[in-house]
Structures are given as C-alpha cells and as structure tokens.
Chains A and B, each alone.
Chain A
Amino acid sequence: MSIRNTPAPVLVLTWGNPSRGDDALGPALYDLLVQHKSETGELDHVDVFTDFQLQIEHAVDIEKRQLVIFVDAGVTNPEPFSFQQLQPQRDDSFTSHAMSPASVLAVYQQVKQENPPPAFLLTIRAYEFGLGKEMSSHARANLEAAFSFILTKITRLGAEPQNTQTV
C-alpha cells in the first residue's frame, strides 16, 4: 500500500490521551518536537507521530526507517524517564488497547519477514490518569527532562546517521 511519501530516517512515535492527566506525556512530547521543528527548521531527518494507542498498523509506520523511538508514559520506571533498546518480542500483552512496542516490532518482523529497524523506548514517569485532569507538576518536570534528552539524541543522529545502533 502506498500510504505516504518517502519516510524520514528517524521516527519518533508517541502515544497517549491528552485529556487523561499524565497519559498526555507522549502527546506533549510530540507537541514539543513539532514546535521545535517548526521554529528552528531543524530535524528534517525526523518524522514525529502521535496516536491514542499503539496498534498493529504502526508496524507500517516503521517501514523504511533507520531508527524508531517509541515514547509513552509509565508508572513503574525510574524518574524522570528511562531509555532502553527494544527487541521484537511476542509477548501476551495483546489486549487491544495496549499493544507493547516490542510486540509492534514482532508484528513487523513477521509481516515483513525481515528484522525491524533499531528501536528504543523512552518511558516518561507518570502518576495520575484521571479523565479531564491536568498533567501533574511532577510529570511536567519529567517531560522537560525527557525532551532535552531526546532532542540531543535525535539532533546528533542528523549529523551521524550511521550511529543508530548505539543511540
């Protein structure tokens, strides 16, 4: 399926519900990155997507990428965020509203019959998820730290695109 034009080498894929408190961390990081791209004209080598949830079709989004960074809120990871490399994993987390990033990579691997691009998960520490709630102050602080971190990473990749395996 010819869904879109040639994708950028790097994809940052965030997800979450902007109206459910700290679940908005992913979309908020998306907003910051889009704003940065718009204001600076930098990061042409980066596509940034956001969605309510991770799903099987995101396996299509990671096609032809050199690097994928997934971004979500988390409640068990260290503050302010964690960053880890992912491997395709056929876990049993297929409750449909909650597909794990590793499972998306596994779908890609099986559907495409090839290894997915290098992928990492940036998990920003979250606390509250009430409908209509604002993001908590702790989460906002974590968001700032995560934004600074990922901006450094993906900016460097623009200069050294061969280093995606060791981002």
Chain B
Amino acid sequence: MTSALETADNPQDMKRIVIEPLTRVEGHGKVTLLQGSNRSIQQARLHITEFRGFEKFIQGRPYWELPVLVQRLCGICPVSHHLAAAKATDMIVGASELTPTAEKIRRLMHFGQTLQSHALHFFHLCSPDLLFGFDDDIRHRNIVGIIEDSPEIARQGVLLRKYGQEVIRITSGKRIHGTGAIPGGINKSLTQKEIRYLQGDIGQMIAWSQGALELLKKVFFEHYNYHLGFGSIESNMMSMIRADGAFELYHGGLRARDRNGESIFDHNDYRNYDQYIRESVKDWSYMKFPFISALGQENGWYRVGPLARVNNCDFFSTPLAEEARKEFIAIGDGKPVQSTLGYHWARLIELLHCAEAIAELLGDRDLVGKELRNMGNLQSSGTGVIEAPRGTLFHHYEIDELGIVTKASLIVSTTNNNQAMNESIRKVANQYLDGHRLTEALLNQVEVAIRAYDPCLSCATHAIGKMPMELNLCDDDGELIDRLEKRADGRISRTI
C-alpha cells in the first residue's frame, strides 16, 4: 500500500496549495498540496484539526452522565455517541445483556439516525456531485441546484431526514440531547400511538430509499469506469458483524478483511480492541492513524463505514437490501469493491436496509414492553462499540470507586478512515491534478474524494459569520502569494 507521496523528496522546492476548510463536509479540514516546479503534485495531506480535548471534557464527570454528556461532542451524529457511551456504561453497571425491549428500542433509534444521516449525505452533500458532475456550474453542485431542477428529489430528501429524526425523537425522548438510553437499558418504551405514528409513513420511506438507490445506480453505471476508478485505493476493511455473518450496526464482533477479501480477523470481541487495533501519530496531523497491529503501521490501515460494511457482511437480513447487496458485490468480481465512490452506493443500500428494518421493528411487540433495565455489579471500566453512520466508533471509559470517569478513550469513525482519506487524496491528485493548471473544478475533485467518506470533522460550532473558506497559495519558499476567502453567505474576496 503505497505512501509514496506522503513525504516528497524536496518539499522545500515546491509550491503549496491549501484548501481550507472543505466545503460540504462536516466541520473543518484543510488540504495541502505541494506543487513542484513542473506543476505536478508531489505531496498531499489532509489536515484535521478536530477531536482535541474530548477526553479531558469527559474526565471528572460521573459515569451515569456519559450517554447524555457525549452527545455534545458532536452536533453531527450525537446519537452515535449516545449509544456507544450507553453500551460502555452497560458494562460498567454490570448489565451483561439488555432486556428485549431496551435492545430493540436502541436499535430502532440507531436505524433512525443512520437513515437520517445517510439521507442528508445523499440528497444534500454528495448527490449534486453525482447528479450534475464535478465540473458543472457551482450553482448546481449543491442542494440548491437539485431543488431548482428536481424539487421532488429535494422534497424526498428533506422528508426522509425528517422521518429519521422523528424516530430519534420518539425513541430518545427529545429532538436533541435525548435521554433514551441509560446505563443498563432505556428509560421508556414506546406507546402504541407512537408506533402507529411512525408506521404511517414508513412505507413511503422504503419507496423513496429504493428510488434514491436506483438513481444512484443509474448515475454510477452511466459513467461506470469513472466511478469505479475515481480516487479508488486498495485497502483492508473493518466492520461489525452479527454472529451469523449478517450486516450489523448495533452489536456484534469485529471483522477485518484484506484487499483481496481474505480474513485478517473475524468475530473479534470489541471489548479487547486495544489488543488488535493500535494508533500511530504523525507530526503534521492532529488526528491519529489507527492500524491493525498484526499487519503493522505501513500495511495495517483500513477503511470503515458503508463500503466496508457492505463488503464485509455475508448478507443483509432484509430482502430489498440483500438484493441490492448482491448487485453491488458483483462489480467486485470476487474481490471487495474498492471504488471510493462506491461508498455512495453502499450508503444507499444501508439507507434502504434501515428503512426496511424500521418497518420490521415497528411490528415488534417488545417495543411496548415494561422491562427496561438490567443491573449487576459495578465494574471499573466499560467499552462500547457501534457502527455509526460513518463507520466503527469506539468508546472506552475507566472510573474510580465513586463512579467518576478517570480515563476516556475514543476512536471516532473518521479517525478510522484517516489514512484511507489521505490515500484517496493522493490518488486523485495523481489522477487529475498532475501536469495541469490548478482550477477550482480540479480542486473540487479532491473534495469529492473526501466527501465520499462522509467525514465528520465537526466542531459543532457554527455561529453566523464564523465559517470562512480559505484558499491559500504558497510559492517554493513557503511564502503566501495568494489567498481567497469565502464567507458563509457565499461572498468571495481576495485578501492578500
């Protein structure tokens, strides 16, 4: 697995181009391309300046606050942190398993959040790139263009996302800062009225999810070689898996396969993840680089998220998603699908599965059950792992005798994809920027590769007037020679 461009031979002789922050990606990131004298891209790095101070934020708080507290780490996927922390605190309170009611309501909440997250990404973030092309007028590269040209698609996206959030609201008790999952279980079950309310629209959600998947496939196959090759890299893949090999988002063992689909490990107990996953640091990035320890730092990096999950699972438990999985896997010709833009396809298979799974769960009588919580003997540590919309999410906590958190360790989904995103950037830089004059359209292609991973670089701080996009150009000596700033309202100004 090449890392040839990570460090160029003579970076001091190169021109540095910085894209900051990324548009249509959660939070702030910065891409640095070092350009040699012949305009070829010699070095490419994704700098992420987030996920700092989270552990400190958590330390010193009582463990029972964790499922609520951690939602404030990220405004993008608070439910993922809510559930991962709840699973960790299940261990802490000695609840070796949940009641059927508690587990199914948590699963319903998780399907709801994954559905709304995936719907936003397709209809809002990535859909414009796929539908209208990367070189299209910028007006047509975001939801504004979609709405203008296809208001019905936009409406479906808005309502799919809204439906997922209604599932979250009903299962967690609130629109945000939900308290549904607590150590050892949940704090309320559903009422028949709530279930009927959600059942009212789920058929439509399944139909719209199918429609989105068909639309994506149509676009993918219309430019098949392009979508297959754009930013594609050979990687290992890791994801959670059910005991019988089925696709799993909430609870199971961990499976890792190599670039050829051969097993690296299977059904590993996630509570011992630190025995087979390690993290390295690099002096140019604040974000760590996880890797499978048995393969070493150079070869052990991996991808997580929809592409890994759909590749890794043996089957989906719902019929429409399973049918879609078979069609997707077929393009790999016996090997894992390594297409980076295949993330979009896999994400919509998951969207469809979530809609189907919600429909199934809403017919389950356990949702109205009264046994909400299990408790056992208090433990000194706990680990919770789930498949968040963007990939595997690890939470680990240690507490003292008073129940106060003394240590918190998190590996978030985007961190798991850190090396992979860098690899995809380098691939795109080589494919599309080498030897060309740099343009906004070309630079956008770098962002398209990153967006495929749906990274969450969230700071969840978004006050009006605080989100400039900055584009810097530095010469061979590192001197800034040009800078463009884009304000939140879209105005662009030259500030040098």
Interface residues of A (CB under 8 A from B): 1-3, 15-20, 22-23, 49-57, 59-60, 72-77, 89-98, 100, 103, 106-107, 110-111, 113, 121, 123, 126, 129-132
Task: Give the residues in chain B near A15, CB-CB below 8 Å.
Answer: 462
A50 touches B176 (CB 8 A): yes
Complex Cα–Cα for A97 and B467 (A): 10
Find A60's partner among B154, B159, B490 (CB 8 Å cutoff).
Answer: B159
A139 → chain B closest CB, angstroms: 11
Residue of A55, A76, A97, A126 with highest tally of chain B CB at under 10 A: A97
Task: Give the residues in chain B near A103, CB-CB below 8 Å.
Answer: 144
Known contacts A57-B165, A95-B24, A98-B488; decide if A2 and B462 are in contact (CB<8 Å): no
A107 touches B143 (CB 8 A): yes
Instruction: Give B296-330 as 1s and 0s: 1 = Cβ < 8 Å from A's Cβ atoms.
Output: 00000000000000000000000000000000000
Which of B38-46, B70-78, B248-256, B427-435 lies at the interface?
B70-78
Task: Give the residues in chain A near B23, CB-CB below 8 Å.
Answer: 94-95
Instruction: Give B178-205 as 1s and 0s: 1 = Cβ < 8 Å from A's Cβ atoms.
Output: 0000000000000000000100110010
Known contacts A60-B158, A94-B144; decide if A72 and B463 are in contact (CB<8 Å): yes
A17 touches B75 (CB 8 A): yes
B488 touches A93 (CB 8 A): yes
Task: Give the residues in chain B near A22, CB-CB below 8 Å.
Answer: 463
B151 touches A111 (CB 8 A): yes
Complex Cα–Cα for A92 and B444 (A): 14
B464 touches A77 (CB 8 A): yes
A138 → chain B closest CB, angstroms: 14
A56 touches B157 (CB 8 A): yes
Within 8 A of A (CB), among B126-153: 138, 142-144, 147-148, 151
Could you name 25 residue pairs across A and B whose Cβ atoms are closer than 8 Å? A1-B204, A20-B459, A23-B460, A23-B461, A23-B462, A56-B120, A57-B161, A57-B165, A60-B159, A73-B463, A76-B465, A77-B464, A89-B489, A90-B144, A93-B467, A93-B490, A96-B25, A96-B26, A100-B464, A106-B144, A106-B147, A110-B148, A111-B158, A123-B464, A131-B53
Task: Give the residues in chain A near B144, CB-CB below 8 Å.
Answer: 90, 92, 94, 103, 106
A23 touches B463 (CB 8 A): yes
Task: Give the residues in chain B near A113, CB-CB below 8 Å.
Answer: 151
Find B57's partner among A53, A59, A131 (CB 8 Å cutoff).
Answer: A131
Find B490's partner among A20, A73, A76, A92 (CB 8 Å cutoff).
Answer: A92
A21 → chain B closest CB, angstroms: 8
Find B465's partner among A54, A55, A74 (CB 8 Å cutoff).
Answer: A74
Whether B27 sits at the interface, judged by CB under 8 Å, is yes
Task: Give the residues in chain B near A123, CB-CB below 8 Å.
Answer: 464
Complex Cα–Cα for A22 and B463 (A): 9
A110 touches B465 (CB 8 A): no
Complex Cα–Cα for A75 and B144 (A): 26
B175 touches A49 (CB 8 A): yes
A96 touches B124 (CB 8 A): yes
Whether B458 sits at the interface, judged by CB under 8 Å, is yes
Beyond known contacts A17-B72, A77-B464, A103-B144: 10 more, CB 8 A cutoff: A51-B176, A53-B460, A55-B161, A56-B124, A57-B161, A93-B467, A95-B467, A98-B488, A110-B151, A131-B53
B75 touches A97 (CB 8 A): yes
Find B197's partner among A2, A54, A75 (CB 8 Å cutoff).
Answer: A2
| Nearest chain B residue, comparing its CB with the CB of A73 | B463
Residue of B23, B120, B154, B488 with highest tally of chain A CB at under 10 A: B488
| Nearest chain B residue, comparing its CB with the CB of A2 | B200
Complex Cα–Cα for A144 and B108 (A): 40
A53 touches B125 (CB 8 A): no
Complex Cα–Cα for A60 and B177 (A): 20
Find A129's partner among B151, B461, B488 (CB 8 Å cutoff).
Answer: B461
| Nearest chain B residue, comparing its CB with the CB of A129 | B461
A56 touches B463 (CB 8 A): no
Find B154's partner among A17, A72, A107 (CB 8 Å cutoff).
Answer: A107
Known contacts A1-B163, A20-B460, A113-B151; decide if A51 and B72 are in contact (CB<8 Å): no
Complex Cα–Cα for A72 and B165 (A): 21
Known contacts A56-B161, A100-B464, A132-B53; decide if A2 and B201 are in contact (CB<8 Å): yes
Complex Cα–Cα for A6 and B338 (A): 48
B163 touches A92 (CB 8 A): no
Task: Give the residues in chain A near B459, CB-CB below 8 Å.
Answer: 20, 129, 131
| Nearest chain A residue, comparing its CB with the CB of B147 | A110
B467 touches A98 (CB 8 A): yes
Known contacts A57-B161, A107-B158, A111-B147; decide if A92 and B138 are in contact (CB<8 Å): yes
B490 touches A96 (CB 8 A): no
Task: Give the residues in chain B near A98, CB-CB below 8 Å.
Answer: 462, 467, 488
Find A52's partner among B24, B75, B159 (CB 8 Å cutoff).
Answer: B75
B470 → chain A closest CB, angstroms: 13
Complex Cα–Cα for A53 and B175 (A): 12
Residue of B27, B57, B460 with highest tally of chain A CB at under 10 A: B460
Complex Cα–Cα for A97 and B24 (A): 8
B72 touches A18 (CB 8 A): yes
B142 touches A94 (CB 8 A): yes
Task: Give the residues in chain B near A75, CB-CB below 8 Å.
Answer: 463-466
